[in-house]
Amino acid sequence: MSFKINSYEDYKKQYQQSVENPEQFWSTIANTFSWRKKWDTVLKWNFDEPNIKWFVNGKLNITENCLDRHLATRGNQTAIVWEPNNPNDDTIKLTYHQLHQKVCEFANVLKNNGAKKGDRICLYMPMVPELAIAVLACARIGAIHSVVFAGFSAKALADRINDSACTLILCSDEAFRGAKTIPIKNVVDEALKNCPSISKNIVLKRTGAKVEMINNRDVWWHDEVKKVNSECVAEEMDSEDELFILYTSGSTGQPKGVVHTTGGYMVYTNYTFQNVFQYNTGDIFWCTADIGWITGHSYIIYGPLLAGATTVMFEGVPTWPDAGRFWEVVDKHQVNIFYTAPTAIRALMACDIDFVNKHQLSSLKVLGTVGEPINIEAWEWYHKNIGKTNCPIVDTWWQTETGGIMISSLAGITPSKPTFATLPLPGIQPCLVDAAGNEITENNVEGNLCIKFPWPSMLRTTYGDHNRCKQNYFSTYKGKYFTGDGCKRDENGMYRITGRVDDVINVSGHRIGTAEVENALDENHLVIESAVVGYPHDIKGQGIYAYVICAKEVNEQELRKELLEHITQHIGAFAKPDKIQLVSGLPKTRSGKIMRRILRKIAEGDTSNLGDTSTLLDPEIVKEIKNNAL
């Protein structure tokens, strides 16, 4: 059975079926996978607790679907093409047979090091094949992977390890990133000083740098692999057993561990991969994300491998050795489907067009974007220069919490409209609500984006704190999942995401909670209080603007340097503020709440109408901030 949508009519038909009879719709699709035991009930749910279960009592292992299932038909086909950071180094290609073998082997390494079903394993690694292998090896033995992007600081890493009490960590000596090397092991050593739950650290040799190995804790990956064979029967998992945790920023407090479970995530990532990108057997698919983010989980590893595709993994950066690197890789591996973030497009747009024109790009059939709204200039540049005007562009809207693509055109099948994500995938029931929480049913409107009905790959909880999940996503609008995004719907029912309506900012496609940056700044001895907002940034989409009240007279330049270093230590370099303004106070209401609306306007450079400031404790402060704005 194929669930591939092949015309606009077909899309409409599937969409209608998915709304009228979701259980039947999803069970037909789920039936195409390999289950140890089929489910009793397709769906049980309520959005109040929330309690969501898909394919109830179904038994399976996702790696049997990613790997074993393909061995007979495409065992010798390439599963992963790995392109190294340095173009002069060798590419690695792993067939499905080889990947299967390596996953089984590493699964045995994990077991040998004490890991078992249900354990949390942290992965803090560069973009090397071993990362994908390790992710799948965790899933093979039923351990829950928690991948932490290797740009996070030691403190951020420790917080994430401790939140879910990981017992094992996997890392490398260092990572290559463009012209730089990143001291991965040192960061891990620093983090592990405060992580009592970790008993073992398995270290991959990547650059060969000398690193300190701690007795009884640190072991070398290559030594461990020698101790095991490559037979590993997959652990039988329940459909609702946890597959992974991925930390993401919210509007308040510490990052949350978004939890995804096995059966539903599998069904939905494969379904969306095949339909959105209109994947055909033999296509080479390249998603440029890092596996440290959800896009890498769903569309470098799981979606493509479930479909038996060839997935490209890239270790490097788009601008090194030069700004033609992406396009060189596209030609080298004859990539057919290319999926990247608007921020990368904008950065490359700013470089000489010769970096593009040196390359053929004739293998490309479909282009995609993800992570942030795409502006029309970037869309047109991508369409014209990369797609040579004949590749459909899919603008895919989704989130860590949604697990897979929710609103997007289907390449070449459903209508597209530049800067619009367009229409929901079958099974997805979006709605817009007004400030009072009422659903807006007409078209040509704007509101807050919610989803009314469960879909298989939605988050089930936030790790260790179910109430937080309920409060964050299911309490703002009763009976609905609230996305945190603002959205327009045009006269034809097409959706355009306008950006976050909460205190989350999107910097180069990275989600950053303003509260996280504020908490970090406030911990610095020079800072009394801070307020952080986003502002439009040509390349990054949004930049970070920090207003800071200082404890004593300080040299502004030194303060900036100190605070940037401080954020790098506390969160990671990607969360460094672009602008830091010293202020003597913050605009607060009489109840002590910071009026962010005003700070946002000043950061945006729009001070003509700051709205009502009469409720402020000290309206004078606004003048000072405005006059000294950066």
* Site residues for ligand WTA per CB under 6 A: 248, 293-295, 370-373, 395-400, 421, 483-485, 497, 499-500, 506, 511
Please state, in angstroms and rounded to a whole number, the distance separating the CA atoms of residues 45 and 53. 6
Q: Which two tokens stand for residue 596?
A: 């962010």
Q: In the complex with ligand WTA, which residue's Cβ is closer, 400 or 448? A: 400
Strands (E) across 173-268 are located at: 175-177, 180-182, 200-204, 218-220, 237-238, 242-248, 256-261
Amino acid at 512: I
Q: In the complex with ligand WTA, which residue's Cβ is closer, 105 or 290? A: 290
In the complex, least distance from residue 509 CB atom to ligand WTA, rounded to whole angstroms: 7
Q: In the complex with ligand WTA, which residue's Cβ is closer, 248 or 461? A: 248
* Residues whose CB falls within 8 Å of the CB of residue 263, separated by 6 or more in sequence, listed in order: 30, 39, 54, 55, 58, 60, 239, 240, 456
How much is the CA Rg of the chain, to the nearest whole Å? 24
Q: In the complex with ligand WTA, which residue's Cβ is closer, 232 or 571? A: 571
In the complex, least distance from residue 14 CB atom to ligand WTA, rounded to whole angstroms: 21
Q: In the complex with ligand WTA, which residue's Cβ is closer, 234 or 301? A: 301
Q: In the complex with ligand WTA, which residue's Cβ is closer, 63 or 343? A: 343
In the complex, least distance from residue 41 CB atom to ligand WTA, rounded to whole angstroms: 29
Q: In the complex with ligand WTA, which residue's Cβ is closer, 18 or 340? A: 340
In the complex, least distance from residue 604 CB atom to ligand WTA, rounded to whole angstroms: 18
Residue in the block written with tokens 């009072």: 436
Q: In the complex with ligand WTA, which residue's Cβ is closer, 451 or 625? A: 451
In the complex, least distance from residue 484 CB atom to ligand WTA, rounded to whole angstroms: 6
Q: In the complex with ligand WTA, which residue's Cβ is closer, 132 or 394? A: 394
Q: Which two tokens stand for residue 362?
A: 């004739």
In the complex, least distance from residue 265 CB atom to ligand WTA, rounded to whole angstroms: 14
Helices then strands, each counted (H, E), the chain: 21, 31
Q: In the complex with ligand WTA, which residue's Cβ is closer, 370 or 532? A: 370
Name beta bridge partners: 338: 286, 367
Given a contact cutoff of 8 angstroms between Cβ atoms, the answer to whether 9 and 2 are in contact is no
In the complex, least distance from residue 578 CB atom to ligand WTA, rounded to whole angstroms: 19
Amino acid at 445: V
Given a contact cutoff of 8 angstroms between Cβ atoms, the answer to whether 244 and 297 are in contact is yes
**φ, ψ (nearest 5 deg) of residue 278:** 50, 50
Please state, in angstroms and rounded to a whole number, the distance separating the CA atoms of residues 439 and 191. 46
Q: Which of 165, 103, 102 is nearest to 138 (CA)?
A: 103
Q: Which two tokens stand for residue 116?
A: 């078992």
Q: In the complex with ligand WTA, which residue's Cβ is closer, 302 or 397? A: 397
- Expressed in angstroms, the distance from the first to the final Cα of the chain is 59
In the complex, least distance from residue 213 CB atom to ligand WTA, rounded to whole angstroms: 34
Please state, in angstroms and rounded to a whole number, the distance separating the CA atoms of residues 419 and 35. 39
Q: In the complex with ligand WTA, which residue's Cβ is closer, 246 or 527? A: 246
Classify residue 103 by burial, with Cβ atoms within 10 Å: 0-12, 13-18, 19+.
buried
In the complex, least distance from residue 260 CB atom to ligand WTA, rounded to whole angstroms: 12
Q: In the complex with ligand WTA, which residue's Cβ is closer, 119 or 503? A: 503
In the complex, least distance from residue 292 CB atom to ligand WTA, rounded to whole angstroms: 10
In the complex, least distance from residue 63 CB atom to ligand WTA, rounded to whole angstroms: 23
Measured at CB, which residue is nearest to ligand WTA?
A: 400
In the complex, least distance from residue 152 CB atom to ligand WTA, rounded to whole angstroms: 14
Classify residue 125 by burial, with Cβ atoms within 10 Å: 0-12, 13-18, 19+.
buried
Torsion of CA 27, 33, 38, 44, to 10 degrees: -40
In Å, what is the CA distance from 333 to each residue of 361, 363, 503? 10, 9, 40
In the complex, least distance from residue 309 CB atom to ligand WTA, rounded to whole angstroms: 19
Given a contact cutoff of 8 angstroms between Cβ atoms, the answer to whether 318 and 325 are in contact is yes
Angle between helices 154-163 and 184-192 (to 10 degrees): 50
